[in-house]
Structure 1
Amino acid sequence: MPTRSAVVTLLLLLLTGILSCHNKDVASGPVITDSIGKINKWIYDSMQRYYYWSGDITATPDYTLPSGNFFHSLVSNQDRFSYISNQVDVGPQRTTFQLYNFHYSIVAQAATDTMVGVITYVVKGSVAYNSGFRRGTCFSRVNGVGISGSTLATVQAALLSGEVIALTLCSYTDGQWVEGKTVKVGKTNAVENVVVQTRYFSYNGKKTGYLLYNGFSADYDEVLLAAFAKLKNADVTECIIDLRYNPGGSVATCAKLTGMLAPVADNSVFGVFQGNASEGTQVYTMNRVLKTSTNANGNTIAALEANRLSLSRVYVLTTRATISAAELLINNLKPYLPVVQIGDTTLGKDEASIQIVDGRVPRQVQWVIQPIIYKLQNANYKGGYHTGIAPDYAEDELSALPLADFGAASDVLINRALQLIYGTNVVESVGLRKNTLFVQKRFQSAEAAAKVLPVVVLSHLH
């Protein structure tokens, strides 16, 4: 059977010993001698062994197909996210955020259909940030090309090129868009502190914590615990977790965040993974997941309890860019703590994958495949959010410009949460802000990126 290595891409998890329990050889099938046929046979055997939809795979594949095409001939029509890469020119597309460290949206002014780009998030320390880009910065041209329905594809391609791009900035003044200077931005790879912002709101003695959290990175677990210690010491009794641009990450870190929000114990079920006939159903407790963390900070329930907030519910802010472990958090909290979701429906990555490489020595196949192997469920065996997790209160942060800063009470999503917590007579309605321009969203780069980023990725497979 094909071998595999513990390759870590985004998420670090468990399953130690699980695959070793299933060392049944895949049927040998036809004898293949050509190089493409051997590669494709390795792909076929791997998919038959681990793929969630292995029961749908044909028994008579065409081993003569190019390997990329061969892989896709095996993929179920229900599968949106499995992929193959030769690590050269076949694999997931790079995203604007990976290339330039910012997210943007294209919006249209309802009355005129005029289109502009809006920066929705930019990493501190990136080239774009150091060039003055901030959340809410608007641009009207990319490389001199104005943004319109007919040029939208050209603009999007430029923002995915990886080349130096020139953005013409603009502002809305006296009822019209006025162009300003042109700023050139190149590729960058700034290190992002995913614990972006921690603060609290207070009214009439009631405190509401706020955390802008942009990725479940184990490298920042200590910072995450410190943020919760700060909120706990402030005696917050309500909490808003902002996951609107969170692409997922470490499942162990997801469990740590769960443990600081909800009253869970060592033996509380964190999640249930439903696999194919070979993998079966795997149930994981909090303790088992925490033991897989690569960061010792907060890897016990006792450490998490020390920073746990006293909450009767949690408010979570989402967009279509909320995916993977961020969705896992929302779903897995629900058996233990009411979740009030505000924003847009999440993208819907309710699946887990592994990265499989040829572990033979010497390595004979250079391709890498990442197939879906599990569907994800919470402690109540509830999952099935492949179309996304719908909000309790639908709000669009891009419904009106200018965009408010993250953490501001005037932000559309935060404003709604504060209204629910403190009452509509306490918090000003965002729609009543001065100089508000109502627009319609036409494209969101963060959502486009979410579609090509991995689902929950499992490693530590032995």
Structure 2
Amino acid sequence: MKNTSNNMKKTILVALLGVACLASCKKDKKNVDTPPKSGSTLDLIRDSVFLYAKEAYYWYDGLPTYDAFNPRSFTGTDDLTALTKEVNAISQYKINPATGKPYEYYAPSAGEAKYSFIDQGEVSTELNGTNKDFGFAPLFNDANDLRIKYVYPGSPADLAGVKRGYRILSINGNSNITYDGPNGTNTQFVINAWANGTTISLVLKRSDTDLTPVTVTLNAASYSINPVLTYKTVDAGNGKKIGYIVFNSFTSDDNADPKLDAAFNYFQSQGITDLVVDLRYNGGGFVSTAEYIDNLIVPVAKNNTTMYTYHFNDLLVAGKQKLLYNQVRLDPDTKKLYNYGQFDYTVAGNTVPFTKKGSLAITRVFFIVTGSTASASELTINNLRPHLDVQLIGTTSYGKPVGFFDIDINKYEMYIPEFETQNSASQGGYYTGMAPGTADYPGVNDYDDPTKDFGDTTETLLSHAIHYVKLGTYALPSQRIQSLSTKQKTFSIEQSNAAAIELNRNKFSGMVFNKKLKLK
């Protein structure tokens, strides 16, 4: 959550750029970083991007010197493109010994950052509960089958009657929308039309038996996000009742918590015995909201025990942060200024306990996940693993055990990993994702099913949870309900997951630290 107003942000820009240079121009015999004392505004911004990374980036120790990196060499068709190239370059230095590739290696497009990015405030706006887009997202159910995977209530798509499961036949008059790989012409056309346009025209089939396609034209517009797309209960018989909730974004507490309370109060009143949390398209958001949902789920006996810990780099732990003193924020409660340089970055100062909320008492929770399930979603899952029977259903998650706080540089906001999280059993490091149906993540690996609405008991992934609650095992392929999404696929599960990740590439995934850290 942003703890400073736009006006305050503007007042510190000149000081931020100037002090960023001066503070880091001091010679360090082990690692000399001496930028020129003058330059254009873009030059100073590029310098600041690198110098902040040299201090706060979780893998700062893999970065070269200023002269070797040469921040001012990064150019583009516009300033944001140049800065994005620089951030991508920073992300590729530190190698993960477990994979032999950079920690931020992104398989579909080597050289791009898997986690880091820079923008002009769009993420802050989105995570505080406001989107300005079409209000839907596409998903390849198969190479030649593009679907609507969700629609936000109150969005342009919702107001036009678009529903999850509708098949997209053409976009902006172009019917060449067959998946042709992550960097294919067709795939990139779909991404650009959906993620970067301000108007989009869709020809849709409302069902596979629908003989009359409909055309809708949508204009991007602002709307309030309800991150809880739906919730309901399912009677599984023999005294077993399942609570089901689709949670699609970890928006701010002010936005998300009341919606979560409404759902969990309903679950408590219905006496559910099992819970299914559908995070299949949830790319993350604020860590405080992840804590909130964990506190709703965790058993009361775990109250005041460790939920998870933050781990920052050794420079921050040792109190050697210079530039972060320039990251000034306004405490919304006390109305006093503070800055990121004042924080205690030790593990002891960053251990978060459970604080049980509500009276829900369950011993098992199912999480529905896909390659679009990232960061704060994975944090939510990981925090509960030592304390309940946690089952994962779906495809391998994105793999992001690191998070960030935003760094303001001129009109830009930079997000680079500054910390890693671990649960109370010291489990973390899931850089390659959480794979359902493995020793570490019990459950079942199966296709996403965008042909059915959320909560439909015949939808493939939800039906797995229902089968398990009833019989104590997951359905074999021959036993499960065969929906249209799982018949005669040309996609493998891995291909389906990769396509989904690529379509989601232009949307936020991450966990943002939005609470004031303990002061030193």
TM range (shorter): 0.7 to 0.9
Deviation sequence 1:287-336 (CA, Å, 0-9, x none): 5xx8xxxxxxxxxx36x1xx232222111111111112111011111111
Which of 52, 77, 89 is the equivalent residue of 1:46? 52
Structure 2 CA distance for partners of 1:40 and 1:180, relative to 1, 3 Å: closer
Distance 2:37 2:503 in 1: 39
Q: CA deviation at 1:431?
A: 3.1
Q: CA deviation at 1:368?
A: 3.2
Distance 1:350 1:435 in 2: 30
Check whether the contact 2:460–2:483 (CA below 8 A) recurs between aligned residues: no
Say whether residues 1:342 and 2:393 are aligned partners. Answer: yes
Which of 311, 315, 318 is the equivalent residue of 1:274? 311
Q: Which residue of 2 aligns with 1:209?
A: 243
1:269 partner amino acid: T
**Percent of pairs identical after alignment?**
24
For 1:255-404, list aligned pairs within 5 A.
255-263=291-299, 265-280=302-317, 281-283=346-348, 284-287=350-353, 301=355, 304=357, 307-358=358-409, 365-391=410-436, 392-398=443-449, 403-404=451-452
Which of 26, 29, 33 is the equivalent residue of 1:28? 26
Deviation sequence 1:120-168 (CA, Å, 0-9, x none): 1111222212222111111211122113346443333322342322211
Which of 102, 105, 116 is the equivalent residue of 2:139? 105
Distance 1:455 1:173 in 2: 35
Distance 2:134 2:484 in 1: 32
Which of 426, 431, 435 is the equivalent residue of 2:481? 431
Structure 2 CA distance for partners of 1:8 and 1:82, relative to 1, 3 Å: farther
Say whether residues 1:120 and 2:149 are aligned partners. Answer: yes
Which of 204, 215, 229 is the equivalent residue of 1:169? 204
Q: What SS class does the counterpart of residue 195 from structure 2 fall into?
A: coil
Distance 1:313 1:338 in 2: 5
Q: What SS class does the counterpart of residue 275 from structure 2 fall into?
A: strand
Q: Which residue of 1 aligns with 2:276?
A: 240
Q: CA deviation at 1:381?
A: 1.1
Distance 1:38 1:153 in 2: 33
5+ residue gaps, structure 2, are: 7-22, 28-33, 75-81, 94-101, 105-113, 318-345, 437-442
Structure 2 CA distance for partners of 1:233 and 1:178, relative to 1, 3 Å: closer
Q: CA deviation at 1:349?
A: 1.4
Q: Which has the higher helix share?
A: 2
5+ residue gaps, structure 1, are: 10-24, 291-300, 359-364
1:378 partner amino acid: N
TM-score of the superposed pair, with normalisation by structure 2: 0.70
Distance 1:8 1:422 in 2: 52
Deviation sequence 1:361-389 (CA, Å, 0-9, x none): xxxx4443222111221111111111111
Check whether the contact 1:101–1:189 (CA below 8 A) recurs between aligned residues: no
Q: What SS class does the counterpart of residue 145 from structure 2 fall into?
A: strand
Q: CA deviation at 1:266?
A: 5.0
Q: Which residue of 2 aligns with 1:294?
A: none
Q: Which residue of 2 aligns with 1:456?
A: 511
Check whether the contact 1:145–1:155 (CA below 8 A) recurs between aligned residues: no
Check whether the contact 2:371–2:500 (CA below 8 A) recurs between aligned residues: no
Distance 1:62 1:451 in 2: 27
Distance 1:448 1:375 in 2: 26
For 1:57-68, list aligned pairs within 5 A.
57-59=63-65, 60=67, 61-66=69-74, 68=83
Q: What SS class does the counterpart of residue 276 from structure 2 fall into?
A: strand
Say whether residues 1:410 and 2:455 are aligned partners. Answer: no
Q: Say which structure, 1 or 2, has more relative contact order (CA 8 Å, 6+ apart).
A: 1
Q: What SS class does the counterpart of residue 431 from structure 1 fall into?
A: coil
Deviation sequence 1:165-194 (CA, Å, 0-9, x none): 2211236667xx856232212213332222
Structure 2 CA distance for partners of 1:371 and 1:422, relative to 1, 3 Å: same
Say whether residues 1:140 and 2:138 are aligned partners. Answer: no
Distance 2:484 2:116 in 1: 47
Deviation sequence 1:13-47 (CA, Å, 0-9, x none): xxxxxxxxxxxx65624352223554344333312
Q: Which residue of 1 aligns with 2:287?
A: 251
Distance 2:474 2:47 in 1: 65
Check whether the contact 1:259–1:308 (CA below 8 A) recurs between aligned residues: no
Distance 2:485 2:413 in 1: 52
Say whether residues 1:55 and 2:71 are aligned partners. Answer: no
Distance 1:49 1:81 in 2: 17
Structure 2 CA distance for partners of 1:435 and 1:152, relative to 1, 3 Å: closer
Check whether the contact 2:404–2:417 (CA below 8 A) recurs between aligned residues: yes
Distance 1:444 1:82 in 2: 21
What is the Cα-based RMSD across aligned positions, in Å? 3.5
Structure 2 CA distance for partners of 1:450 and 1:349, relative to 1, 3 Å: farther
Distance 1:347 1:8 in 2: 32
Check whether the contact 2:156–2:219 (CA below 8 A) recurs between aligned residues: yes
Check whether the contact 2:232–2:244 (CA below 8 A) recurs between aligned residues: yes
Q: What SS class does the counterpart of residue 376 from structure 1 fall into?
A: strand
Number of residue-to-residue matches in the alignment: 407
Deviation sequence 1:78-113 (CA, Å, 0-9, x none): 33222234679xxx9xxxx862111211244xxxx7
Check whether the contact 1:199–1:407 (CA below 8 A) recurs between aligned residues: yes
Distance 1:103 1:70 in 2: 29
Q: Which residue of 2 aligns with 1:20?
A: none
Distance 1:271 1:227 in 2: 25
Distance 2:429 2:474 in 1: 38
Distance 2:397 2:275 in 1: 20
